[in-house]
Chains A and B, each alone.
Chain A
Amino acid sequence: MADIDTSAMLADWAKVAPQAAPPAATPLMHKATNVMSNWAARAAGTGLATTALLPWRIDPRSWPQIWLELCQMQDAVWQRQCRLQDSWLQGWLDWANEFRQARGANTVSKLVEQEFDLVAQWHELVSGQVTDVVSLLENLEINYAYWVNEKSR
C-alpha cells in the first residue's frame, strides 16, 4: 500500500476549514455577568447608603423607628420563608404520595412515561425551591436597598 501523503491532505484541508474563531461569550455568560454586575454595584451603593444610617450620623430620635422597621423587615422575610417551607413540604408530600401509588399501566410505554414523570416532578420541585430561595434573597436585597436609600435622603 502506498504511503499516504498526509502533508498534502492537511494542506488541502486547511484551505477549506474555516479559520478558528475566538470563542464567543455565550448568551448565558453575558446575562450572568450583567446580573452579577448589577448585584455588586447595588451592594456597594447600599453599603454606602447604610453608613448614612450609622447611629452617630443620624438624629437619635429616629433610631427607634429605624430599628423597628429593620426588625419588621426581618420578620417579613421569616414569615415568607415559613410560607415557602410549607409549600415545599406539601410539594414533597404530594410527590411521595404519587411515588407510592400503584397506578394502572396497560402498556410498556405508559409505564416508562410514569417513571420518567416522577423524575421530572422531582427535578421541578428542586428547581422550584432553588428559584424560590434566590427570589427571596433578591427581594430582600432590593427592598433593603430601596429602604436605606429612602431613609438616607
Chain B
Amino acid sequence: MITAENATRLGQYQVDPGKSSISGLSSGAFMTVQLHLAYSSRFCGAGIVAGGPYRCAESFRAAAFLAEDAFEQSAINLCLNPLLPQTAPNPEHLAQLANATAQAGEIDPIVNLAGHRIYIFTGSRDDVVAPATVNCTRRFYELLGVDRKQIAWHDNIPAGHALVTDNPEDSPLATNQPPWLNNGGFMQSHAILNHIHDNLQPPADRATGRLLRFDQTEFFDGDPRACMSEYGFVYVPSAVENGTTARVHIALHGCKQGYDYVNFVYGRPDNANQPPYGNRYVTTTGYNTMADSNNIIVLYPQVRGRDDDFAQNPDGCWDWWGYSSPDPGRPDYYSRNAIQIKAIYSMLRRLGG
C-alpha cells in the first residue's frame, strides 16, 4: 500500500522564472484569481473558467452578524446566484479591495498584472456560477490595469458549468452537474494555454512524459484546516526531465473534482464507495498533451471535501470564502498568508518556478 510517507517527493527542474501560468474551473477559478494576484511576479497569465473576482465573498458584510456567515451568504447568493446584474459583485469595490490588499503588502504589487494575458470564459447555459459574476471578473482585471486586448473573453458558447473538452465520454455541452467536464468539441485547456503563451506547438498526439503522484502533505504540514489531499499530481514532459528549460502551469480543479472526493449522502461522506470521478481532471482535460510538446510542467494540486470543526467544505472546493482562515473575523484566504496559497506557491517554488 502506498502511503504519503513513501509517495514521490515533488522534484526540481530547470524552470524559466516569471513565465509560469495558472488556470482553474469554478472554485479553482476563484483560487486562480487569488493566487494570480498574490504572486503576480511569478506568472505571466491566467485562465479563469466560470470564476468570480477577488474577495467576491466579502461583497456584503451586513448579510450576517458573524463574518464567516456573511461571507458564505455572499458567496452563495451574490457571487454564484445574483438575481440581477445589479446584485452581482461590484468590480469597482473589489478592485479597491485588491489595491488595498497590495498596499498592505499581503499580495504582490498590482502593477505586475499590466502585461499579463487573461483568458476568461463563462458558458451561456451555466446555472452554477452566473455569467454576470464572471463578467465582473473581466471588468475587475480591466480596472487593475490589464489591457482589454490582452483579455480573451468568451461568453457565447452554450456550455453549462464545466471545463470544455472533446472527450466523447464527457457530459453533453449544456450540462450543469459533476464531473463538470462537458464535450464541446474542443479542448479548452489548449485554448487557455494558447492565449497565455506565445507561439505554442500543437498538442502531442501521445504524451510521452510522466504523470507523477507526489506527497502533498509536506506543503501544508498535514494541517487539516488546509482541506488538501495527501497526494498531488504533476505532469513532467520527458524533455524537461532531461534538462530542457520549462515553464510551469498550475491547473486547479473545481469542486468535487479532486481525486479523492466522495459524495456526501444525507450529510455523511459516502466512504463505502470509491470516489466517483477520481483523477479525470488530471488525465483527460488535455493539459498534458499540450504540455508535452511545449515543455510545460503541469502541476495539479488537490483539495478534498470535509465538513467538521476544521472546515465546512463538503464539496471539496478551493477556499474562496474563508473556510480555511484561522480567524474567521479576519480572514486570510485571499493573501500570501493563506494556508492553501502558501502550499501551492511552495510547490511552484520547489519545481523551480
User: Is the Cβ of A142 less than 8 Å from the Cβ of B86?
Assistant: no
User: Is the Cβ of A143 less than 8 Å from the Cβ of B69?
Assistant: no
**Distance between B94 CB and nearest chain A CB, rounded to angstroms:** 13
B81 at the interface (CB under 8 A from A): yes
**Distance between B286 CB and nearest chain A CB, rounded to angstroms:** 32
CB contacts under 8 Å to A, within B87-138, are: 87, 90
Please choose the segment from A9-17, A36-44, A53-61, A109-117 that sits at the chain B interface, where 4 or more of its residues have CB less than 8 A away. A36-44
> Contacts A139-B81, A139-B83 given: A146-B60 contact, CB under 8 Å?
yes
B62 at the interface (CB under 8 A from A): yes
Task: Determine the interface band of chain A, counting residues with CB < 8 A from chain B.
Answer: 20 to 34
Q: Which residues of A contact B325 (CB under 8 A)?
A: none
A77 at the interface (CB under 8 A from B): yes
> Contacts A42-B63, A142-B78 given: A69-B73 contact, CB under 8 Å?
no
Q: Which of B69, B83, B84, B86 contacts A38 (CB 8 A)?
A: B69
| Residue ID in chain A nearest B78 by CB atoms | A146
**Distance between B81 CB and nearest chain A CB, rounded to angstroms:** 6
The complex places the Cα of A76 from the Cα of B132 at a distance, in Å, of 13
The complex places the Cα of A69 from the Cα of B82 at a distance, in Å, of 13
Query: Could you give 5 example pairs across A and B, Cβ below 8 Å?
Result: A35-B69, A77-B83, A80-B83, A143-B84, A146-B59
Given contacts A142-B63, A143-B77, 9 further A-B pairs with CB under 8 A are A34-B65, A38-B64, A38-B66, A42-B62, A45-B62, A73-B87, A80-B83, A142-B73, A146-B78
The 8 A-B pairs with the shortest beta carbon distances in the complex, nearest first, are A142-B77, A38-B64, A76-B83, A143-B83, A143-B87, A146-B60, A139-B77, A147-B87
